Every structure is written in C-alpha cells, then in structure tokens.
Chains A and B, each alone.
Chain A
C-alpha cells in the first residue's frame, strides 16, 4: 500500500514536470498579437500627453526595465541593434528627435532650413545644449562623429556607416575611393551652424538624424581611449540621462543628466535595466513587480502567454503594429520557382488569416504586399492605405491550381521537382512552416519538405542561394517605403532571390532621385511593389508584425514610433 502511494506521488511529480517543461519555451522574435491593437504611427502609452499635476507623481522616479540582450556596445557609431537603440536614446540626442506625433522635432538643433532643391540642410545648434561635462554641443561634434563613423581608419569598421550614405560623398569616403573628408557634404560653417549636403533629395532625412548612427560624440572622450564606450566613469554624453553603472551581463543603470537642456521636462531620476534573456522570466518578473515594462522591443513575452495575458492583464497589455514584414522568399533561379505562375500559385494557396488565428496567434495583419501598415505615405496617411495590398493578389485555391497547372505545362513538368521550405530554427517559425506546407499539400496537392537551420547557417544558405523557398523578415530602418523597396534591385546585397528586373531598378532609381516630387516618388514605389508582388511574386508576404508589451498602469509617457522603437526619456511614474 505504502509503495503504491509513493509511486503515485512520483508519477504526479513527473507529469507536472513534463507539462511545465512544455510551457517554458520562449522564442526569439518578439512580435505578436491578440487583443487591442493601436493605431499606426506613434502612440502615447499613457493617455496623458500633458503630465498630470506633479502632486500625482510617485516620490521615487526610478524606472525599472529589462533588456533581453546586453547592448554589444554603447558607441553610437558601432551600434546596430534595438537594445543599443533603447539604451543610447537615454544617453544621446541627435539633431532631431521623434516627437509624440511621429514627426521629427528639434533636438540638439534648435532649427533648420532646407534648400529649394531639397539637397542642402542647414542646422542651427541649440543654444545652451551641453555635454554632460558642461562643454557646449557644437556643429563640430557632429562633423567629428560622422567622420569617425565613415572613416576607413576606424577600428572596428562601423557596419552602419552605410546609414550615412545619403550624405554627398559619404560612400566614396567610406569605401576609400577618396581620402579627402572635405569632399563629404557635411561642414561646420561655424560653431553653431551645420551644413549637410545630400546626394539625392531625401524626404526622410530629418527622421534619419534622430537615428543613433547620426548621434554626436564627445571628441575628447573618444580620443581618450578605445574602451571609452564601456566605461561609465569617463563617458560624456549629451542626452537626458547619463550611464552610471554597467555590470556586464547583469545590469545597466542611468541617472538624470541635470545639464541636459530640457532637464525640466525629464521626470525620471533613475533608470535601471536588468539583462535577462528569457521571455518567461521577464514576464514573471513583471508580474512579480520587479520591472515596470515587459515585452517588445526591449524584451519579449513568450508567444504562448500572449493570449492569456491579453485577458488577465487587459489594461496593461498592448499590441502595436510595427514596421516589419514576415514573408517567404522564392529563389527565382531554382526549379520550380523560376516560373512566375508556380510562385503565384503557391502564394495564393495559403489562408493567412487562418494561420494568424490558429498558429501565430498574435493578432498580426495578413500581408499581401511588402511595405507594412505603419510606414508613412503622403499627407499623414500610411503608404498601405494609399496603395492597398489587396489589389496585388487574392487567396484563391481554384485559381492557384489552374496557375500551377499552367506553370507546370510551361516548364514541361508532369510532377513538380522536390521542394524544400527552409527556415531558421525557432519554435514559431517551425509551427508556421509546417502549417504552410500542409496548406500547400491540401490545396495544391504538392509534397513539401521542411528544413530548419541554425541562424548563421541559415543566413549563409540564403545568401549563397542554397534554397528554394525560405523564411525571411524585414524591419524598417526609417519611416519610408524605400527602406523596403530598394531591397530587391538587381544584385542588391539583401536580394537573395535572384530577381533582376530593369523596370524595377528604373522605378527605384527614379524614386531615389525624385525626392522633390513626393507624389510621383510614392507612385514609383507603389509601381515597383506591384512588379515585385502582383506581376512576379518574387516574395510571398505572410503577415505584418505586431509587438506585444505590458506596461504598469502607473507608468506614463512612454512612446513607441512606427518601427516599434521605444522612448522612455519623457516617461514618469504616478503614485501607486
């Protein structure tokens, strides 16, 4: 009898263990949905754009965050990731910043003028803006920072130097074609005036100046030593906060910078960020009251907890549309996807809404185009509203079958060659790949193998064209359709599909140079997207990402921009 009950207990424990083991799975990419969705563009998470009376403020203005990965560097020229973006935003300020309405507003520059031809920008430095050591922020600091990011002598070579290629002569200087920095279109006319000349009229250039590659750096600090960007003691910055501690792998913290020109409007006095790379732990930590904000873009909420949390914590849970697209890309050089009809048949034969409802379960928007819903078009409308993707193609099994048959006839197939769908190892990508393969099987009667590869291996396979159809995702660098559309030009560095089309190239080139005719520029990009999807189906869009987050009810004034990047600098904590 005794033995029996022990066995029972043991079994119970093991069963619970197994069940729990299944729950613990977190996943790399962050974005997900269900529940309330916010409008495109910048959203203010607290309702109060005007902070309530100070009486309501909590005595302790310490914001507690988690970062799912440690920023590899806090050197603006070397940064490349969203964690560094969040961290650097505390510490630096570019010429412009992004306001609550999503539009660029004055930052380190107090005003600017744009020339008639849209090529020359003249920035006036803000009077009274200083570095954290009291030195004034001058035009020369920007020239120095940009030269440093572009210079071939900088070690290690800054990868994001290409974010500065909009500036005239920047690419030539960076690639070593010219050694003379004076040929690059950035000059300090005097201490207070910065003149920037661009290669092409670039309507989104002001937005770019709020990006971290464009941040100024403090010359004396940088020249003091290689490790300046890892040592809080010597780091001199110009943003609302200064870095106070950095314990590798564990924690970063910031303190309010009293020398910041707008310090009167900064309510937070301290910010701490732990570094925990487990979504499950982060979510538990939020629920346990250890952090004030959880989820993307700083961390993540595990996919399987999104649904329950959206109900349990209705007022704290939020889904935001972000500028990222999930899609499958076809290798147009490989059989059978060298045939456009076959590509179209595959794209039409899946049910995106059903995949979102049953598999990805994060309230994403089905995608029939490449440019996501949160990217701006003209006149305060989104590009997607002006050029609806529903016109490109429709899900239609019957037509898909017909197209497949026609395509097979064209190629002389009686049966399709074996097809493998490639994705990078992750539970979410796997679920989706299996479901898509199943839909293709049921709707088109084709057998699909699925194969997963570890991230770097996968990137290598895609880059070398060693795939037939592969999972892909693209997130925006700036708020303009160009960040998507210039990807598929012939021989483009990120174009793994083998697609090369002179008509497409011409449209993109036109849009690059036609910054002074915004209307036509948008038309060109829409026409290019039509070529890419409707006419050629080089990629098969699946969905536009959302990101899920939890914000404590007392945390106000947090803003998210079109890309999902977050700004805590104007946040404050209410009494709670």
Chain B
C-alpha cells in the first residue's frame, strides 16, 4: 500500500509540474495583459505596474520566480482584485462551490443509484422505461437550459424558491437540481446496466439456489458488485462539480470559484489564472487518488501490490 501511495504521489507531482508549465507559457502566449483596457494606460504608469509585478523581466525569469514562490506555498496577489491574496480568494469562493457541489454529489449519487436499481429490478417494465426516458432527458438537456428553465418556472413564475443566491437553505434547491440532473441520469444508466449484468451472473443464481433471502442477496451481492462502475464515475464527477460550474454559478448568481476562474482569464489576471489552475489540478488528482483507494475497499478482487504483500 505504501509503495502504491508513493508512486501515485510522484506521478501527481509530475502531472502538476507539467500543468503549471504548460499553463504558464500558454497564458503568456495569449495576446493582452492585465493592464489592458479600452482607455490606454499612460506609458509611464504601465511601465511602473509591470515593474511592480515583475512582468518586465524575461519570461524564463518570471517562470523560475513563480515556481520558487509555489514551492514556498505562495500563490501571489491578484493583479485585478487589488491587494487580495490569490489563496484567500480561492479559499473564500471555493467554500461556496464546495458546499453546493457536495450536496449535488450526494443527491445525484443517492437518486441516481436508486433510480438505476429500480430500473434494473423492474427490467422491461413501465418503471424501467420511465427511468430511461428521464435519463435520456437528463443527459441531453444541458445544465444551462435546465437552470434557466427551473429559475423561470419555479423561481420567477411560481415563486417557490429564490431566483438568485444561496442566502437561505431554499436557495440551494434550484442550483442543486440543475447541477445534479446530468450526473443523476448518468449514474442511473450506469447502475442499471451493471446491476442487470450482476443480476444475471451465476453467483446470484447460486445464492438464490442456496436459499438466501432476497434482501440479503440484493445488499451483499447485487449492489456491492453493481456499484463499482458508479464509484469510478463519482470520483472525477465530484472533482468536477465541487470546482464550480461556471454556467450554473452564473445563472444563479453564486459567488463560487467557477465564476472567478472565468473572470480571471478574460481579465488576464495572471496570478489568479495560475493559482486556480493549480488548485483545480490538485483537486482532480486527489479525486482520482481517492477513487483508486475506494475501489480497493469496495472490491477486494483488486490487489494493489505486485506480489510482495499478495
């Protein structure tokens, strides 16, 4: 296990390094800089700004300096949100996205698995078709359409939920629905097909023949085996959802990290772009790592180590 974790960790660091390097040079290669605006900044003021942010140095020097700062855990100061630490802004806005995202993950996993299971148990029955139609809709309708639709119907017309913001618990309902519709659909389909496969497996027949009670079979054999593909999916999905959906955050006016990320790119807020990219990278790697571990816990057939411990 320790060896597994170490090698994973090394790979993660290498990936992050490549990510930083690629982002840094791509970012600098795009035309424009943080101080551009419709009204030209006088040359002397611009020169001073560039010197203050170290943008007057050669590109390689800037790169080395940036790496040096990162190693010390310093993400720098935003070039647009004046005097604000990048790490502080990430902390503030990520908190919002995280809370919303985790709720969406929990909701979509529970609802998705339940629907998939139902569909599998009532294979080729009405419930099955119903779930599958919902799943097709959930996958086909993009979240921004659903979000606008929900906002218009349930927020504006019926007035059941707030139109914007997360100020009250009710405010979470619409964004969570918009965020989890897609994942619910995907998880339901995933669960259904894998459950169906499991239901037809020989060991289920054996279990039945042994006279095991149906709930016990369902719990111990069907769900435990059928859920594996879902675990594979939920990991990356979590990373995806908690890092903030730009579209949903925009529509519901939520001050999450997704919104900040997009703004930082159009503002050419260099330190902010780097900071958030790095942060996203870490979250994604972490999610994959955790997925691998959970996989082992759920499925004892998977062995991590090569021989020694086995």
Which A residues have a C-beta under 8 Å from some C-beta of B?
2, 6, 9-10, 13-14, 16-17, 20-21, 23-24, 66, 69-70, 72-73, 75, 78, 80, 152, 155-159, 161-162, 174-176, 226-227, 229-230, 247-251, 274-278, 280-282, 284-285, 287-288, 290, 454-457, 459-461, 463, 473-474, 493-494
**CA gap between A142 and B260 in the complex, in Å:** 34
- In the complex, chain B residues 21-52 whose Cβ is within 8 Å of any chain A Cβ: 30-33, 35-45, 48-49, 52
Please tell me if B96 contacts chain A, counting CB pairs below 8 Å. Answer: yes
The 7 closest A-B pairs by CB, nearest first: A456-B32, A249-B255, A276-B253, A250-B255, A493-B40, A157-B48, A73-B82
Contact A455 B266 (CB under 8 A): yes
- Pick from B33, B45, B81, B152: contact of A284, CB below 8 A: B152
Quick one: which of B40, B52, B83 contacts A73, CB cutoff 8 A? B83
Rounded to whole Å, the gap between the CB of A12 and the closest CB of chain B is 11
Does B122 lie at the interface of the complex (its beta carbon under 8 Å from any beta carbon of A)? no
Q: How far is the CB of A340 from chain B (nearest CB, A)?
A: 25
Flag if B92 contacts A20 (CB, 8 Å): no
- From residue 257 to 275 of chain B, which have CB atoms closer than 8 A to chain A? 259-260, 263, 266, 268
A457 to B250, Cβ gap below 8 A?
no
A280 to B159, CA, bound (A): 17
**Please, which residues of chain B bring their CB within 8 A of the CB of A156?**
49, 52-53, 79, 82
| A24 near B52: Cβ-Cβ < 8 Å | no
Could you list which residues of chain B lie within 8 angstroms of chain A, going by C-beta atoms?
30-33, 35-45, 48-49, 52-53, 79-84, 89, 92-93, 96, 129, 133, 136-137, 140-142, 144-145, 148-149, 151-152, 155-156, 159, 162-165, 250-256, 259-260, 263, 266, 268
Given A457-B31, A459-B36, A461-B31; A284-B165 close (CB under 8 Å): no
Q: Out of A14, A20, A285, which one reaches B140, CB within 8 Å?
A: A14
Q: List 16 A-B contacts (CB under 8 A).
A: A14-B141, A17-B149, A21-B142, A24-B251, A156-B49, A156-B53, A157-B48, A174-B45, A248-B93, A249-B256, A290-B163, A457-B31, A457-B32, A461-B31, A493-B40, A493-B41
Which of chain B's residues have a CB closer than 8 A to the CB of A457? 30-32
> Which residues of B sit under 8 angstroms from A278, Cβ to Cβ?
250-251, 253
- Please give me the residue from chain A that is nearest to B159 by CB atom: A288
Q: Complex formed: what's the CA distance from A21 to B38 in Å? A: 31
Contact A175 B93 (CB under 8 A): no
- B136 and A494 contacting across the interface, CB-CB below 8 Å: no
Cβ of A459: which chain B residues have Cβ within 8 Å of it?
Answer: 32, 36-38
Contact at B253–A275, with CB atoms within 8 Å? yes
| A157, A174, A248, A281: the one within 8 Å of B49 (CB) | A157
Residues of A contacting B92 in the complex (Cβ-Cβ under 8 angstroms): 247-249
What's the least CB distance linking B208 to chain A, in Å?
A: 32
State whether A155 touches B52 (Cβ < 8 A). Answer: yes
Question: Do residues B141 and A456 form an inter-chain contact, with CB atoms below 8 A?
Answer: no
Alpha-carbon distance between A248 and B259 when the two chains are bound, in angstroms: 11
Assembly CA distance A512 to B198 (angstroms): 85
CB neighbours of A460 from chain B (8 A): 31-32, 36
